[in-house]
Structure 1
Amino acid sequence: MITMDFDSAFPIAPGMTVLDVGAGQGRHSFEALRRGGVVTAFDLSESDLADVKSMFGAMELEGEVPEGASGTVLHGDARSMPFNDNSFDRVIASEILEHVHEDEQVMAEIFRVLRPGGLVAVSVPRNWPEQICWKLSAPYHEVEGGHIRIYRASELVAKLERAGLTAYKQHHAHALHAPYWWLKCVVGPDNNDNPAVKAYHRLLVWDLMKGPFVTRASENALNPVLGKSFVVYLVKPELAG
């Protein structure tokens, strides 16, 4: 499930250095690697990184890694990253800032490690669908490592611009996922055996694997009003640093 628009808003050319902050299971790292990036998947979870490293190896064996591209993993804290200033052409921060108390510290680190002229793609849960999830279920967010805040889009953009970045595009994504999470919150976030949850999950997997026109067209039409994720793209000014 890709959240970022790699085709137009956030292009990755072969050989570009890409940092995926809070990479998790690596979905955006894998896409950046397929596009020829020199990718670093960075995360606090060593178990997630082990899985990402295995997938990097599998992609190479399957011939999915272009010549000159590479994928590595690194364990660490996004609030203090072990990279030199101006190290990366692209930085991805997908669904991470809502988990971190010191979000502006992470934003400052993203700005620091991005080269002047480089691009950042940031996504967080959209405000009103997330508000519904919180109202329907405390366990949805009151867990270790769970969501600690709900951003307004304007608030997120303002914080990122205070860090020194300049926003140039934004959109919403994953409209089909909002009702799925509302349903999960109603029956219990961990109740994956509920028949309705299982049926909806099958639909999402079918959409992910097959990309049928009916679901792709429906989600594209619904994203502006129902999209579960808010995505903003920013550039580090050429004169920065």
Structure 2
Amino acid sequence: MERHEYDTLFANEDQHWWFVGTRQVILRVADIALSQIETEREIGCSPFPKVGLPKLLDVGCGTGATLAGFESRNVDRFGIEPEAAAVEFCHRRGLTGVTQGCAESLPFSDGLFDLVMALDVLEHLDDDRAGLAEITRVIRPGGFVLLTVPAHPFLWSEHDVALHHKRRYTYSTFAELIAGQPLRQVVFSYYNCVLFPVVAAVRLVRRFFAAAKPTSGLTSDVVMPHLYVNRLLTEVVASERYVLPHVRLPVGVSLITLCQKI
């Protein structure tokens, strides 16, 4: 990711409709895992220890807004982020469990975490299969992983270049990636579905008309709209939290999965 994009993230992700709405979807899907973990801890029929809180790891946690969103959940929060500036932003949020490191070589023992998230991370890795294997390694048997990735290669744009993406995924390529690990799908769907036609149209039009630009001058699509537009778009994106646990959406800008380690 371009260095200035971390500044943009930190400045916008607590208010911008895309981040706020998506975060509500993420929290809702994560709650499925946390609810099952808590139930199994209470009845004593799971590998989850009763001592201490469930451990949550956010791999590639960026500037920490999503991890901060778990403050009201009863979990111990940890994060790994390769960019030192982003780690500093996390510490400003009081997320002292965030350290610098990379997804391909996590500094944790096997099976340490009850829930691991890698949100828009795998598309940054040269070897996403090895990266997912490393993420899976640190999950406790019976624990969960929550993953999101950008969907549809035809949506590739300057936004992806600015964020240093290596790829966008199709439904089948993402499913194949998951199938290579000891993971059972609990939720698997497109998301950011409602706005897909608008995003697709904008990306394709920009691609058609854009002049060549140097990579160093590229920026992401993050622009703060008018207050009322921002509120409306937040509700539109966040509304998918009501259907995702029950319905596989047919299309979307991104893909999301919650899987249990078997």
The yes-or-no answer on 1:106 pairing with 2:144 is no
User: How well do the aligned residues superpose, as a CA RMSD in angstroms?
Assistant: 3.3
1:31-180 equivalences under 5 Å are 31-56=69-94, 72-127=97-152, 130-132=153-155, 134=156, 137=157, 139-143=158-162, 146-175=164-193, 178=196, 179-180=198-199
Deviation at 1:142, TM superposition (A): 3.1
Deviation at 1:46, TM superposition (A): 1.3
- Residue 6 of structure 1: aligned partner: 30
Deviation at 1:171, TM superposition (A): 2.5
SS at match of 1:82: coil
Q: So what's the TM-score if we normalise by structure 2?
A: 0.67
Asked if 1 retains the 8 angstrom alpha-carbon contact of 2:159 and 2:221, the reply is no
1:229 partner letter: S
Further displaced range: 2-11 or 106-115: 2-11
1:32 partner letter: F
Deviation at 1:175, TM superposition (A): 3.4
CA distance 1:219–1:205, change in 2 (3 Å): same
More contact order relative to length (CA 8 Å, sep ≥ 6): 2
Deviations 1:46-69, CA, capped at 9 Å, x for gaps: 111111121126xxxxxxxxxxxx
Q: Structure 2: how far apart are the matches of 1:85 and 1:77?
A: 16
Deviation at 1:97, TM superposition (A): 0.4
User: Where does structure 1 lack aligned partners over 5 or more consecutive residues?
Assistant: 58-70
Q: Structure 2: how far apart are the matches of 1:169 and 1:218?
A: 13
User: Where does structure 2 lack aligned partners over 5 or more consecutive residues?
Assistant: 1-19, 39-51, 211-217
Q: Structure 2: how far apart are the matches of 1:192 and 1:153?
A: 23
CA distance 1:117–1:100, change in 2 (3 Å): same
Q: So what's the TM-score if we normalise by structure 1?
A: 0.72
Deviation at 1:154, TM superposition (A): 2.3
Deviation at 1:121, TM superposition (A): 0.5
Further displaced range: 91-100 or 30-39: 30-39
SS at match of 2:104: coil
- Residue 65 of structure 1: aligned partner: none
- Residue 229 of structure 2: aligned partner: 203
Report sequence identity in percent.
24
Q: Structure 2: how far apart are the matches of 1:96 and 1:218?
A: 21
Deviation at 1:184, TM superposition (A): 6.7
Q: Structure 2: how far apart are the matches of 1:224 and 1:156?
A: 15
- Residue 67 of structure 1: aligned partner: none
Q: Structure 2: how far apart are the matches of 1:142 and 1:72?
A: 30
Asked if 1 retains the 8 angstrom alpha-carbon contact of 2:106 and 2:134, the reply is yes
CA distance 1:215–1:159, change in 2 (3 Å): closer
Q: Structure 2: how far apart are the matches of 1:84 and 1:30?
A: 24
